[in-house]
Amino acid sequence: MVKDNLEWKLYGLEIDDYSEELGIFFEHEGYPINRVKPTDNPFLFKNKRSISKLIRKSIDIKEGERVLALYGNNRLHHFTYGLCKLADKLNKEYCYIHIDRHHDWWRKKASDLDCGNFLEKIYKDTNVKKKINNLMFIGNHYYELLDMVPESQKDELRSRCLFTSHIYDYKNKQYKPGWLKVVEKMLDNSHEKVYVSMDLDVLHGDDFLTCYEPGILRSVQLMQILTLIKEKKKIIGADVVGYVGRNPVIELQIYKKIVNTLLQ
């Protein structure tokens, strides 16, 4: 167990209607959620600077604290770049854990930040410090991720990825035993501080539906991963995206389980 005495601050970053729904839900459930609505049009914020500035003015964090930010649909996942820049203020170095069906590292030449390309910026411009061993990918479906780094770094990056094919045996239609051990090993080889970003399209369609096609992880398995991270590492911040209200009864309970697992 890692000694972990940072105080969580729960934020509802209400940059779309769905995140407002989440904020209202958690407030009604009695959670100490800081609901902020920094903009009516998140798509006006297109680059690293404007997004970082928006996050900085919306979220207040001091020494000894960490933020869990809940925001809306996963087309906005690039706001996580701003959340990492905020985490940079208090943490010289950390490992970024991307739990997502997509690696979000596409279109390397695009200058604007969007939900498909922000991973490169997190890798290069935050206190992840361009170190492959400060990255972890869980539940990603696309091996093309490995093409995003030079040949010499591919093996290292591969050792830090739990692809869908590592979790699920598509041929025999069953989950592979021992997949959680792989996560454990990756954590053992990671920086003691971690930032965790979750795009809930990583979850199986029976559990959660987002703007994009669903993944393979069951919600119970996601909680196992979070519990393991909590046991082994010092979490310095986290965020969750994906909610578009497709099945609120089940999906809001999953959000609640994530929040409880992290905050307890």
Residues that bind Mn ion (CB under 5 A): 74, 77, 100, 104, 199
| Closest approach of Mn ion to the CB of residue 202, in Å | 8
Which C-beta is closer to Mn ion: that of 14 or that of 100? 100
What number of residues does the chain have?
A: 264
CB of residue 251 vs Mn ion: minimum separation in angstroms? 16
Q: Which of 186, 171, 259, 200 is nearest to 229 (CA)?
A: 186
- In the complex, least distance from residue 104 CB atom to Mn ion, rounded to whole angstroms: 5
Q: CB-based burial of residue 26 (10 Å sphere; 0-12 exposed, 13-18 middle, 19+ buried)?
A: buried
Which of 77/85 has CB closer to Mn ion? Answer: 77
Q: Which is nearer to Mn ion, 59 or 211 (CB)?
A: 211
Query: Shortest distance, CB of residue 6 to Mn ion, whole angstroms?
Result: 25
For Mn ion, the closer of residues 88 and 199 by Cβ is 199
Q: Considering the complex, what minimum distance in angstroms separates the CB of residue 216 from Mn ion? A: 15
State the Cα–Cα distance between residues 176 and 204, nearest whole angstrom: 15
Residue closer to Mn ion, measured from CB, 14 or 104: 104
